[in-house]
Chains A and B, each alone.
Chain A
Amino acid sequence: QKEVEQDPGPLSVPEGAIVSLNCTYSNSAFQYFMWYRQYSRKGPELLMYTYSSGNKEDGRFTAQVDKSSKYISLFIRDSQPSDSATYLCAMSAAAGNKLTFGGGTRVLVKP
């Protein structure tokens, strides 16, 4: 079993809908949680960075971390076709340390 589990999708939603993504993990040492977006044939791009439990909002994006359940989420409001990409969760035990990624969820936002 992998340290970080993520549903591969694909997740198809109509434009304007809320996209809900999540990951579960098993390593209680993880303290730093990230969401990356990856377009086809591009490198991952950081969207959200969260330390420990709690919520963080940035524009249309909201990240939630529940360490007691070992569960993290990303919500995208008012989704746009340009949000169509693969979303990767990532986590680390120490700031700036090596990242452990989920397998990624492919999202398709239909106009």
Chain B
Amino acid sequence: GAGVSQSPRYKVAKRGQDVALRCDPISGHVSLFWYQQALGQGPEFLTYFQNEAQLDKSGLPSDRFFAERPEGSVSTLKIQRTQQEDSAVYLCASRGGQHTDTQYFGPGTRLTVL
């Protein structure tokens, strides 16, 4: 595809449920980022992959959050035992090539925890 795609676009979960959010980066982009955007706020960094290696996970808010990118392409962000404070838009961004600094964002997944 031409851009970063994310699925599902909307997810409603009951408190305590596990959810999995998918990101398909731009083809060939080696770097992939996840951000969390609360309502009315700017995005906040969660984690970063270069190919399949998770190089930075300093922004993950708790051990209930887990991200993977096993083949260096598609990435999944998993949230276990969801809480109401997890409600947010989860944005994925990819960056390509050693000399391309721009992060291209997907449309996000809006997670609502009831």
Q: Do A and B come from one complex?
A: yes
Give residues in A with beta carbon < 8 Å to B: 4, 6, 8, 32, 36, 41-46, 49, 88, 90, 95-96, 98-104
Asked whether any CB of chain A lies closer than 8 Å to the CB of B25, the reply is no
Chain B residues engaging chain A, CB cutoff 8 angstroms: 4, 31, 33, 35, 40-45, 48, 56, 59, 91, 93, 95, 100-108, 110
In the bound complex, CA of A79 to CA of B67 (Å): 40
Contact of B95 among A8, A42, A96, A100 (CB under 8 A): A96
Whether A99 contacts B45 in the complex (CB less than 8 A), given A41-B107, A42-B107, A43-B106, comes out as yes
Query: A101–B101 Cα gap in the complex (Å)?
Result: 16
What's the count of A-B pairs with C-beta under 8 Å? Answer: 57
Cβ contact within 8 Å between B45 and A100:
yes
**Contacting residues, chain A, for B106 (C-beta < 8 A):** 43
**Cβ-defined partner of A95 (8 Å) among B4, B35, B41, B101:** B101
Is B105 a contact partner of A45 (Cβ separation < 8 A)? Answer: yes
- Residue among B43, B104, B110 making CB contact with A99, cutoff 8 Å: B43
**Cβ of B105 and Cβ of A98 under 8 Å apart?**
no
8 contacts between A and B (CB under 8 A): A32-B101, A44-B43, A46-B103, A49-B102, A88-B43, A96-B31, A96-B100, A98-B48
Query: Do A101 and B43 touch (CB < 8 A)?
Result: yes
Q: Are B95 and A101 in contact (CB under 8 A)?
A: no
- Tell me, rounded to whole Å, the shortest Cβ–Cβ distance linking B26 to chain A: 12
Give the nearest-CB partner of B4 in chain A. Answer: A43
User: Contact between A49 and B56 (Cβ–Cβ < 8 Å)?
Assistant: no
Considering the complex, give the chain A residue whose CB is closest to the CB of B106. Answer: A43
